[in-house]
Structure 1
Amino acid sequence: MPDEGIQAILQIRRWLPHLPFHRLSPAEPWAASPGRAITIVGDSSFASLELIAAVRRYVRLVTRLRLDASLFAPPPPRRPGQRGPKACKGHRLAKLTAVLANPATRWTRVWVNEWYGDEGRILEIVSGTAIWYHPGLPPAPIRWVLVRDPSGQREPQAFLSTNLDDKPEAILGRFVWRWRIETTFQEVRRHLGAETQRQWSDLAIRRTTPVLLGLFSLVTLWAGELMGDAATAPQPRTAAWYAKPLPTFSDAIAAVRRAFWCPAELSMSRPGQATVEIPVTLLRRLVDTVAYAA
């Protein structure tokens, strides 16, 4: 993953040359407005010292951090006349597993609007800066954030940012935003066939995925318009083992299909007539079934 991740991130940097480069410390000035710097958010496969060393000067990287990662204090300043190579790290810090188990750890409670698709909840966090180091690999100055759920529903997790002056709440917020992007790509693959299309032309391959993502946006907008009418509003399709309080994309695309298949101007039956060839309730059930299966 590091090689592919490095190439992808540096390609994004080449695509957006007008945005400022990432600063490595609060004392280093930005080349332009700091609010538009590139932020890359990734899962645990992006938590690589090789990847961080290759991209940290170009982007801000936010990703997971192992609870048993080896963290160190910054190297002490060199004494006048001191010889030998410059130290890349200081003394060893307690691992995050020890911080988690230490009763003296001072936790801060924060409210998170959304946590892995769930509703907002209160989390407890503790944060600090350190040097993440492993023998044979370049050291990485990071800001780490340790998170635990007071309700005990989810396991404790740790995250990192290569920007040392990031606020812990901002790091969590950026990582939570990734959930929506992942869900979007998952729904596009499942319901619109992204990554399963078969073309021989390179141009067709490059065009298909953007078109499908655009179709996803159109379906979402059309479903939003249908929400204004109780008769056409997407209704969550639930099961005994899966209760949905709000419609998902499968409900949205089924509602849009029904709206296209049964436009009011093409309905020739009289409003008061209950049956034509089959009962109305059975016809609606068949249309709903096909709308989800199409």
Structure 2
Amino acid sequence: MFVHRSWRHAQLLLIGAILAPGRRTVTSLLRIMGRAHDRHFVNFHRILSRAAWSPRRGARILLGQLLDAFVPSGPVVLAMDDTIERRWGRRIRARGIDRDPVRSSEAHFVKASGLRWMSLMLLAPIPWAARVGALPFLTALVPSERACREHGRRHKPLLEVGRQLALQARRWLPGRALVLVGDSGFSALLFLDAMRRARLTAITRLRLDAALYEPAPPRSPRTIGRPRRKGARLPTLLDVLADTSTAWRAVVVQDWYGAGERTIEVASETAVWFHAGLPAVPIRWVLIRDPEQRFAPQALLCTDLTRDPEQVVAWFVHRWRGEATFQELRAHLGVETQRHWSDTAIARTTPCLFALVSSVTLLASRVPARDRRKAATAAWYLKPRPTFSDALAVVRWVLWREQSLRSSRRRAHRTKRRFLLPSPWAYALCHAA
């Protein structure tokens, strides 16, 4: 990805981004690495604003390492979601005013000024954390419509950017089965048809009043006219929900949005989703209801008709890990604290911070198990399993011990015992947000 000189600067920025608390500006990274008096500090800024390197190539390398570490075989489950990086400034030309998904609710609408990012994440089981993690590897900027109009460029909506990211992952993994999980924003016929043509299974929410049809009947020979794309109209999912003859089946979901086991009831069938002027997409719909009525009934769709409904629900409920990843990015990796205004630096810095979640998880998996077990536990706080903040603290602890606190550059020159980082120092240096 880099020439030798640029890689030396980029490596220092990478390690500094892991070690630095608070803001992730270039100056704070130089201070934490002991380069506050380096006269050639501008070279580190140029790594993000002018140096010739490809973040897309880095995303492909990172995806390969994540698959080798966590998903060596079987289907690759991906999650796609967008988030807003709240930024202000006249020179940030790609920003816009959008709905803030974090602060908004069904009854309260909140607008935010900032940059909208679309991220593609790998949903992979992390053995040492005993959970499924959302690991970003490919993130793209979605400029506002106003910014595209001012620069004379065609505006790409969220669905088109998401389609391009998913097809890029398909080109990188031609021999693996891919499953893409998204929220209701990706429940569009054009998007689902593109995923089906690319041999990529898509799982999203489905409207309860969607127009569902039977498959088109076989076309008889010598029939004149266009072939039929759908058959007879089927009842809507609202009608299926109200029908007393609907066959429901009890399913136990192991990790229901982080709340442990939850018993739900599902009903599933296949149909064709069709709307005038749009492609007809064969789907498997899965209707979900709670026997204890703690949440309203909802429906999911899967473009692979052969998938089991229990597997569809299990994959979909892992999508919330992406929201947890966005929160960890803001809390521990300094997203929204950057101060770049160059278009190139903006398009590179935030995707690198997103990928830093995956990099820290990879580095933590290479740390010995006895070091990973040193979670932030105390007599008054018993943590059953490590979280991302613990993984970040362990990686920082290893970096402080092995790189910054070594007494000699060569092992043969070492004449005194290795410096042991005291526990209070380790807490102050490694667990700072």
TM-score normalised by L of structure 2: 0.50
> Is 1:140 matched up with 2:281?
yes
Mapping for residues 114-263 of structure 1, pairs under 5 Å: 114-194=255-335, 196-199=337-340, 200=342, 202=345, 205=349, 207-218=352-363, 225=370, 228=373, 233-235=375-377, 248-250=387-389
CA–CA distance in structure 1, aligned partners of residues 378 and 191 of structure 2 = 42
Q: Which has the larger radius of gyration?
A: 1
2:242 is aligned to: 101
Q: Mean alpha-carbon deviation: is it higher for 165-174 or for 248-257?
A: 248-257
Q: Residues 82 and 265 of structure 1: is their aligned pair in 2 closer, same or farther, counting only changes over 3 Å? A: closer
CA deviation after TM superposition for structure 1 residue 255, in Å: 8.2
CA contact (8 A) 1:63 1:159 kept: yes
Question: SS where residue 216 of structure 2 aligns?
Answer: coil
AA in 2 matched with 1:215: V
> Is 1:87 matched up with 2:244?
no
CA contact (8 A) 1:223 1:253 kept: no
CA deviation after TM superposition for structure 1 residue 194, in Å: 3.6
CA deviation after TM superposition for structure 1 residue 250, in Å: 4.6
User: What is the root-mean-square deviation in Å for CA atoms of aligned residues?
Assistant: 3.6
Higher strand share: 2
CA–CA distance in structure 1, aligned partners of residues 239 and 380 of structure 2 = 43
Mapping for residues 3-152 of structure 1, pairs under 5 Å: 3-16=160-173, 18-19=174-175, 36-58=176-198, 59-152=200-293
AA in 2 matched with 1:7: Q
CA–CA distance in structure 1, aligned partners of residues 330 and 249 of structure 2 = 39
CA contact (8 A) 2:375 2:386 kept: no
CA contact (8 A) 1:223 1:233 kept: no
CA–CA distance in structure 2, aligned partners of residues 233 and 11 of structure 1 = 37
CA–CA distance in structure 1, aligned partners of residues 188 and 379 of structure 2 = 41
Q: Residues 135 and 290 of structure 1: is their aligned pair in 2 closer, same or farther, counting only changes over 3 Å? A: same
AA in 1 matched with 2:258: G
CA deviation after TM superposition for structure 1 residue 54, in Å: 2.0
CA–CA distance in structure 1, aligned partners of residues 368 and 324 of structure 2 = 17
Q: Residues 225 and 100 of structure 1: is their aligned pair in 2 closer, same or farther, counting only changes over 3 Å? A: farther
Name which structure has the greater RCO, CA cutoff 8 Å, separation 6+. 2
CA–CA distance in structure 2, aligned partners of residues 79 and 236 of structure 1 = 74
Question: SS where residue 164 of structure 2 aligns?
Answer: helix
1:278 is aligned to: none
AA in 2 matched with 1:104: S
CA deviation after TM superposition for structure 1 residue 188, in Å: 2.4
CA contact (8 A) 2:364 2:394 kept: no
2:140 is aligned to: none
Q: Residues 238 and 254 of structure 1: is their aligned pair in 2 closer, same or farther, counting only changes over 3 Å? A: farther
Q: Mean alpha-carbon deviation: is it higher for 134-143 or for 218-227?
A: 218-227
Runs of 5+ in structure 1 lacking a partner?
Answer: 20-35, 268-283
CA deviation after TM superposition for structure 1 residue 147, in Å: 1.0
TM-score normalised by L of structure 1: 0.71
CA contact (8 A) 1:258 1:288 kept: no
CA contact (8 A) 1:47 1:63 kept: yes
**1:108-145 CA-partner distances (Å, limit 9, x unpaired):** 11111111111012111111110101111111111111
Runs of 5+ in structure 2 lacking a partner?
Answer: 1-157, 402-417
CA contact (8 A) 1:234 1:255 kept: no
CA–CA distance in structure 1, aligned partners of residues 218 and 191 of structure 2 = 27
CA deviation after TM superposition for structure 1 residue 163, in Å: 1.0
Q: Percent identity?
A: 43
**1:142-194 CA-partner distances (Å, limit 9, x unpaired):** 11111111122222111111111111112112212323344234312331124
**1:70-100 CA-partner distances (Å, limit 9, x unpaired):** 1011112233443332211111111111111
Between the two proteins, the alignment pairs up a number of residues equal to 254
CA–CA distance in structure 2, aligned partners of residues 123 and 43 of structure 1 = 20
CA contact (8 A) 2:180 2:201 kept: yes
AA in 2 matched with 1:211: L
CA–CA distance in structure 2, aligned partners of residues 61 and 78 of structure 1 = 28
CA–CA distance in structure 2, aligned partners of residues 265 and 9 of structure 1 = 46
